[in-house]
Amino acid sequence: MSDTSRLIKESRRIVDASNDVNLNSGTLLNMILEIVTGIDSTMRRMETSMEKRLDDLKQDFLAVSARVRTLENQASDVNNKLSDCETSCQGVSNLFDQVSGQVKTNRRNINNHDTRIKKLEDNTIVRPGVPPVINSKEIESLKAAILDLQCRTKGDNRRAPIVARFLYHRDLEYVLANATRLKGRPYGIREQFPHEIEQKRKELYPVLKQAKQQNRQASLVRDRLYIDNQLYIPDTVLEDTRTEHTGSSSANHDTSPKGSYSSDTPPSKRQRQGPSPRPPHTDDSPNSGR
């Protein structure tokens, strides 16, 4: 503003001086040139200032535009979350409606059961002079239910076996080694084999018992019997042939188990790959049994 006022004063002075006849035209032109030069410099300063302000306004506009975009994105996220909340609320409302309907149904069922129970109580009460009523539908339905349960029960009262399968052979050996603790009790532990092996083991049990009575080292591994580290092979056909040729007079009085022996030794225990869990601490009763 000071530069503009100064230029206005200079212009007035030049106008006043132009009325003076003694003033030289060259001087007047110089004065006019000074005024024009001042106006030009003032305009340049104004242009520079305006450009700077326009740049600042442009930066502010870009910042505002970025913030508007951010707010729009946030508003979109809020709208999506609001839609999800509305969907969840609708689902919860439907669930509450279902629960309310189920509660009403349960109440009706409870009331019906209460009524039936009261009828049963009234029918089962023996009043003096009034014979008990035993032909009601409720009692018949209860009898049918009890009969159905009786039909589903097991015919015999034998204890059901408990079958256990071990991942590691070491655990099986540990359980079988502790099976002797159940001696004299109504339950025990034994290893289960297929039917064919069970039949062979039944045939070898008497031989095993006889060998142990003779204080001989005997072990039954699956369907094979080892006596004194030799495989025992039953030879009933050979025994029958020998009896036919020799007769009863040449019968052998040796009480050792009859049969042939092989030089095979008992097989080593097969171990599974991988670490085996440590056996549990021993107590008065084994961990598994049948």
Instruction: Pull the structure tokens for residue 176.
Output: 């079988």
Give me the pLDDT at residue 181, please.
86
Predicted local distance difference test score (pLDDT) of residue 118: 85
pLDDT at 259: 65
Supply the pLDDT for residue 263: 61
Name the pTM for this structure. Answer: 0.32
Long-range contact set of residues 276-284: C-beta below 8 Å, sequence gap at least 24? 276/168, 276/170, 276/171, 277/168, 277/171, 279/170, 279/171, 279/174, 282/178, 284/181
How far is Cα 46 from Cα 10, in angstroms, rounded to an integer? Answer: 20
Residues in contact with 161: Cβ distance below 8 Å, sequence separation at least 6, in sequence order: 290
- Cα distance between residue 189 and residue 286, in whole Å: 9
In a domain, residue 152? The reply is no
Beta-bridge partner residues of 230: 227
Ordered DSSP codes for 140-180? HHHHHHHHHHHHHS-SS-PPPP-----SSHHHHHHHHHTGG
Does 22 fall in a domain?
yes
108: amino acid identity, one letter: R
| Residue entry with tokens 């580290």 | 229
Residues 112, 141: contact at Cβ < 8 Å? no
Whether 216 is in a domain gets the answer yes
Which domain-ending residue is among 76, 103, 130? 103
- Indicate whether 251 belongs to any domain: yes
Domain-located, residue 155: no
- pLDDT for 279 equals 47
The position carrying tokens 């080292």 is 217
Give the per-residue pLDDT at 77: 93
In a domain, 93, yes or no: yes
Query: What's the average pLDDT block by block, 10 residues per block, for the chain (290 residues)?
Result: 66 65 66 77 85 90 93 93 92 91 91 86 64 62 63 56 81 86 82 84 88 88 86 66 51 54 61 47 41
Q: Which residues contact 168 (CB under 8 A, 6 or more apart)?
A: 272, 274, 276, 277
pLDDT of residue 21: 52
The predicted structure's pLDDT at residue 129? 58
Residue ranges with strand state E in the chain: 218-221, 224-227, 230-233, 260-262
Q: What's the CA gap between 235 and 6, in Å, rounded?
A: 144
Per-residue confidence (pLDDT) for residue 65, from 0 to 100: 92
Integer Cα distance of 163 and 274 in angstroms:
24
In a domain, 148, yes or no: no
Closest by CA to 226, choosing from 210, 202, 214, 208, is 208
As for how many domains the chain has, the answer is: 2
Residue type, position 258, single letter:
K
Instruction: Report the run of H or E that residue 260 belongs to, with start and end.
Output: strand 260-262
Would you state the pLDDT for residue 114?
A: 87
Q: Locate tokens 């052998």: which residue?
A: 252
The continuous run of DSSP H or E covering 239 comes out as: helix 236-246
* Residue 290, domain member (yes or no): no
Pairing of the two strands 218-221 and 230-233: unpaired
Rounded CA Rg of the chain:
57
Q: Which of 83, 103, 123 is the last residue of a domain?
A: 103
Instruction: List Cα–Cα distances, 4 to 12, 47, 48, 259, in angstroms.
Output: 12, 15, 17, 140
Q: Which domain holds residue 213?
A: 193-262
